[in-house]
A and B are shown apart, each in its own frame.
Chain A
Amino acid sequence: MLWVDKYRPKTLDQAMVHQDIAQNLKKLVAEQDCPHLLFYGPSGSGKKTLIIALIRQIFGPSADKVKVENRTWKVDAGSRTIDIELTTLSSTNHIELNPSDAGFQDRYIVQEIIKEMAKNRPIDTKGKKGYKILVLNEVDKLSREAQHSLRRTMEKYSAYCRLILCCNSSSKVTEAIRSRCLNVRINAPTDEQIVKALEFIGKKEGLQLPSEFSARIAEKSNRSLRRAILSLETCRVQQYPFTSNQIIPSMDWEEYVSEIASDIMKEQSPKRLYLVRQKLYELLVNCIPPEIILKRLLFELLKKLDAELKHEVCHWAAYYEHRMRLGQKAIFHLEAFVAKFMSIYKAFLIAAFG
């Protein structure tokens, strides 16, 4: 078992970071009623952990028995019926799913599943929880229509089912949904908190963990606890006992992007652009999301640039990223950004050195 899963806090009391939020959630559940919730925050900050712990707190240990199901829903959409396949994780009391996986048909999924949950309401009256919980991940990727229909279903079936929504940026969730939920902001853990968590794991595993080393891991993790723990485990496999100046391997795609960045800095020519394109393709076929590539590339380039060029480069990064959203093929826009950068940099070099 990976350490990330092994040391994931099981209950709200065990939470290592966000203790205050966990205590508040506990209070919320203790009052026998739970509003719709919207968790938002950057990835690796512990949204999912809190949600699972919360469900456990509400329903007790039965929430641990989850089964993975791959189901097909038959949805009646006006004149025709559509089949939609979706993977769900469910226990007796909750269902968890990723509605945005259904693409543009996500609206039907939202309505259909909630309706179904409302239909098979738990019968036992002695259990005081008269509702089930539906966890929807990545709500920010839902289409507008789906969000609108969610708003209606949220009110209509609120007696039988509570929604827990989870997303990275709440800007992309409509105001109507946000105002119907209790919003919970989960911030990324600070470096100190990450260090503490790493030390905790180190102690449990019986490792000698030099403090400079854990501080370096925390710094490198970019405030993502998950990543910090994963890299700790990787380092453990690579070399133990730890030394404080041990190399922390970064992810291979990041190495690759920084390679691209130095390629671009070395030479600005169509030939080099051709080379870079192949590398970009390589990243794309390995399923690295294009916006992540662009962001990382910008990060690497900014490290090497003069201050006066930074403004211009970040302007164009924002510009091409927007275009990428509107367009279809990511590679065009990535390449356009690289070409743009090359022309700016070349002009700068010529102006500076003649």
Chain B
Amino acid sequence: MAPLVQSSQPWVEKYRPKQVKDVAQQDEVVRVLTNTLETSNCPHMLFYGPPGTGKTTTALAIAHQLFGPELYKSRVLELNASDDRGINVVRTKIKDFAAVAVGSGQRQGGYPCPPFKIIILDEADSMTEDAQNALRRTMETYSKVTRFFFICNYISRIIEPLASRCAKFRFKPLSEEIMITRVLHICQEEGLNLEPEVLSTLSSISQGDLRRAITYLQSATRLFGSSITSKDLISVSGVIPEEVIETFFAACRSGNFDLANKEVNNVIAEGYPVSQMFSQLFEIVVGANDISDEQKARICKKLGEADKRLVDGGDEYLQLLDVASSAMRAICNMQEDFS
């Protein structure tokens, strides 16, 4: 491999906590895992929760702390969605790895080195049901020498028999204070200077996802240097400025079709992603005080429909115009449906 330039390493990797106790906010998990470190025994684990809350970090950290750098390669198997994880892989690769016996637990170089191996299955919710079924027996047969760590966003996508074999831990979205402390720590290390107001913008656009917050911060630093304003952050994050949405919605309220059409044209010409537009519009519609619940429902129904059409590859301009026209009809109590 070419020697990587130090600065090209993503900060997300650079500041990934190396130890379980450094993981932010997930106290329950941290307590159980610190216990594991002392007794060198642990159950199968299932981590679930929204992205960017530290699931993968925790799993990797515990693996590193248990085995240390030397044994890590031979004791830990890490598979994520980008690796092929069809049923064949479960039957061969995972099974072969799980079957290998390991030496009895002796501390080596200050690491506990318990007598089992760890298989980390990242993004387990993207595994097929068949593949998950194939794992069931494997988990039990080799439970003496192997522990499984499943990581997923949606626990409902993990089949029940697998879930019942594991200790489940939910990872909570990060609160604003904790996120700000982490970000401030990185800012100090990287020599950045952020205003408090910028910090709160950062935490609001990243919505509890620390990874996203750090990525935005790094992109903004690369583009704009060490002094970053809220506006810079918004421009790298792809979030549409509040004013644009407000103007758009105001045009819908006005009941004037041509005005709305002009606004739609403007949004498209400015290049704002329409899917993003929909989700921000949705928030405004739901939060609006002066329109009735029924009107809100009508708009939301249309938003859902238009979003689906967009996913199917529909044209952005036409769909946005359709949403604008429906919203206008809902707000001004015009005819609802066409047949």
A positions within 8 Å CB-CB of B: 24, 27-28, 31-33, 35, 40-42, 45, 121, 130-131, 151-152, 155, 159-160, 169-172, 178-179, 182-183, 185-188, 223, 291, 294-295, 298, 302, 307, 310-312, 314-319, 321-322, 325-326
Q: How far does the alpha carbon of A160 sit from the alpha carbon of B316 in the complex, in Å?
A: 35
Interfacial chain B residues near A178, Cβ < 8 Å: 238
Chain B residue at minimum C-beta to C-beta distance from A185: B271
Q: Decide if B238 touches A321 in the complex (CB within 8 Å).
A: no
Interfacial chain B residues near A187, Cβ < 8 Å: 269-271
Least Cβ–Cβ distance between A322 and chain B, in angstroms: 4
Chain B residue at minimum C-beta to C-beta distance from A306: B257
Q: Decide if A318 touches B321 in the complex (CB within 8 Å).
A: yes
Chain A residue at minimum C-beta to C-beta distance from B323: A318
Q: Decide if A28 touches B222 in the complex (CB within 8 Å).
A: yes
Could you jot down 7 A-B contacts, CB within 8 Å?
A: A33-B5, A33-B7, A171-B316, A185-B272, A310-B257, A311-B326, A314-B318
Instruction: With A182-B222, A302-B261, A314-B325 as known contacts, state yes or no: A40 contacts B338, CB within 8 Å.
Output: no
Least Cβ–Cβ distance between A336 and chain B, in angstroms: 14
Q: How far does the alpha carbon of A179 sit from the alpha carbon of B219 in the complex, in Å?
A: 10
Q: How far does the alpha carbon of A188 sit from the alpha carbon of B268 in the complex, in Å?
A: 9
Which of chain B's residues 5-39 have a Cβ closer than 8 Å to chain A? Answer: 5, 7-8
Q: Decide if B273 touches A188 in the complex (CB within 8 Å).
A: no
Instruction: With A42-B269, A311-B325, A322-B309 as known contacts, state yes or no: A160 contacts B2, CB within 8 Å.
Output: yes
B positions within 8 Å CB-CB of A: 1-5, 7-8, 82, 212, 215, 219, 222-225, 235-238, 256-258, 261, 268-276, 306, 309-310, 312-319, 321-322, 325-326, 328-329, 334-335, 338
Interfacial chain A residues near B219, Cβ < 8 Å: 35, 182-183
Q: Decide if B257 touches A291 in the complex (CB within 8 Å).
A: no
Q: Decide if B257 touches A182 in the complex (CB within 8 Å).
A: no
Q: How far does the alpha carbon of A152 sit from the alpha carbon of B84 in the complex, in Å?
A: 11
Least Cβ–Cβ distance between A203 and chain B, in angstroms: 26
Q: How far does the alpha carbon of A272 sit from the alpha carbon of B316 in the complex, in Å?
A: 30
Instruction: With A170-B238, A187-B269 as known contacts, state yes or no: A298 contacts B257, CB within 8 Å.
Output: no
Q: How far does the alpha carbon of A223 sit from the alpha carbon of B317 in the complex, in Å?
A: 15
Interfacial chain A residues near B326, Cβ < 8 Å: 311, 315
Q: Decide if B4 touches A325 in the complex (CB within 8 Å).
A: no
Interfacial chain A residues near B235, Cβ < 8 Å: 185
Q: Decide if B322 touches A31 in the complex (CB within 8 Å).
A: no
Least Cβ–Cβ distance between A163 and chain B, in angstroms: 14
Q: How far does the alpha carbon of A294 sit from the alpha carbon of B325 in the complex, in Å?
A: 18
Q: Decide if B236 touches A183 in the complex (CB within 8 Å).
A: yes
Considering residues A33, A178, A326, which has the most beta carbons from chain B within 10 angstroms of its beta carbon?
Answer: A33
**Pick from A186, A291, A312: contact of B315, CB under 8 Å:** A291
Interfacial chain A residues near B271, Cβ < 8 Å: 40-42, 45, 185-188
Q: Decide if A314 touches B276 in the complex (CB within 8 Å).
A: no
Interfacial chain B residues near A321, Cβ < 8 Å: 314-315, 318
Interfacial chain A residues near B212, Cβ < 8 Å: 179
Instruction: With A35-B222, A171-B274, A307-B257 as known contacts, state yes or no: A121 contacts B269, CB within 8 Å.
Output: no
Interfacial chain B residues near A31, Cβ < 8 Å: 7, 222
Least Cβ–Cβ distance between B243 and chain A, in angstroms: 15
Interfacial chain B residues near A179, Cβ < 8 Å: 212, 215
Q: Decide if B338 touches A223 in the complex (CB within 8 Å).
A: no
17 new A-B contacts, CB < 8 A, other than A182-B219, A294-B318, are: A35-B219, A121-B2, A159-B4, A160-B2, A171-B275, A171-B276, A182-B236, A185-B238, A188-B270, A188-B271, A311-B326, A311-B329, A311-B335, A318-B319, A318-B322, A322-B312, A326-B312
**Pick from A27, A169, A298, A312: contact of B223, CB under 8 Å:** A27
Interfacial chain B residues near A45, Cβ < 8 Å: 271
Chain A residue at minimum C-beta to C-beta distance from B326: A315
Interfacial chain B residues near A130, Cβ < 8 Å: 2-3
Q: How far does the alpha carbon of A158 sit from the alpha carbon of B271 in the complex, in Å?
A: 28
Interfacial chain A residues near B322, Cβ < 8 Å: 314-315, 317-319
Q: Decide if A24 touches B2 in the complex (CB within 8 Å).
A: no
Interfacial chain A residues near B1, Cβ < 8 Å: 159
Least Cβ–Cβ distance between A54 and chain B, in angstroms: 13
Least Cβ–Cβ distance between A177 and chain B, in angstroms: 12
Q: How far does the alpha carbon of A315 sit from the alpha carbon of B237 in the complex, in Å?
A: 31
Chain B residue at minimum C-beta to C-beta distance from A170: B273
Q: Decide if A325 touches B314 in the complex (CB within 8 Å).
A: yes
Instruction: With A311-B334, A314-B318 as known contacts, state yes or no: A40 contacts B223, CB within 8 Å.
Output: no
Interfacial chain A residues near B237, Cβ < 8 Å: 183
Q: How far does the alpha carbon of A30 sit from the alpha carbon of B237 in the complex, in Å?
A: 22
Q: Decide if A325 touches B222 in the complex (CB within 8 Å).
A: no
Least Cβ–Cβ distance between A224 and chain B, in angstroms: 9
Q: Decide if A183 touches B238 in the complex (CB within 8 Å).
A: yes
Q: How far does the alpha carbon of A326 sit from the alpha carbon of B312 in the complex, in Å?
A: 7
Interfacial chain B residues near A41, Cβ < 8 Å: 271
Q: Decide if A310 touches B325 in the complex (CB within 8 Å).
A: yes
Chain A residue at minimum C-beta to C-beta distance from B209: A179
Instruction: With A28-B223, A311-B329 as known contacts, state yes or no: A42 contacts B268, CB within 8 Å.
Output: yes
Chain B residue at minimum C-beta to C-beta distance from A292: B315
Interfacial chain A residues near B312, Cβ < 8 Å: 322, 325-326
Interfacial chain A residues near B257, Cβ < 8 Å: 307, 310-311
Q: Decide if B82 touches A315 in the complex (CB within 8 Å).
A: no
Q: How far does the alpha carbon of A108 sit from the alpha carbon of B258 in the complex, in Å?
A: 46
Interfacial chain A residues near B335, Cβ < 8 Å: 311
Q: How far does the alpha carbon of A302 sit from the alpha carbon of B310 in the complex, in Å?
A: 22
Chain B residue at minimum C-beta to C-beta distance from A171: B275
Instruction: With A291-B315, A325-B312 as known contacts, state yes or no: A155 contacts B82, CB within 8 Å.
Output: yes
Instruction: With A28-B223, A33-B8, A182-B219 as known contacts, state yes or no: A314 contacts B321, CB within 8 Å.
Output: yes
Q: Decide if B261 touches A32 in the complex (CB within 8 Å).
A: no
**Lowest 10 A-B CB distances belong to which pairs?**
A318-B322, A41-B271, A171-B275, A152-B82, A188-B269, A33-B8, A322-B309, A170-B273, A130-B2, A318-B318
**Pick from A121, A223, A318: contact of B314, CB under 8 Å:** A318
Chain A residue at minimum C-beta to C-beta distance from B8: A33
Q: Decide if A169 touches B274 in the complex (CB within 8 Å).
A: yes
**Pick from B7, B224, B276: contact of A32, CB under 8 Å:** B7
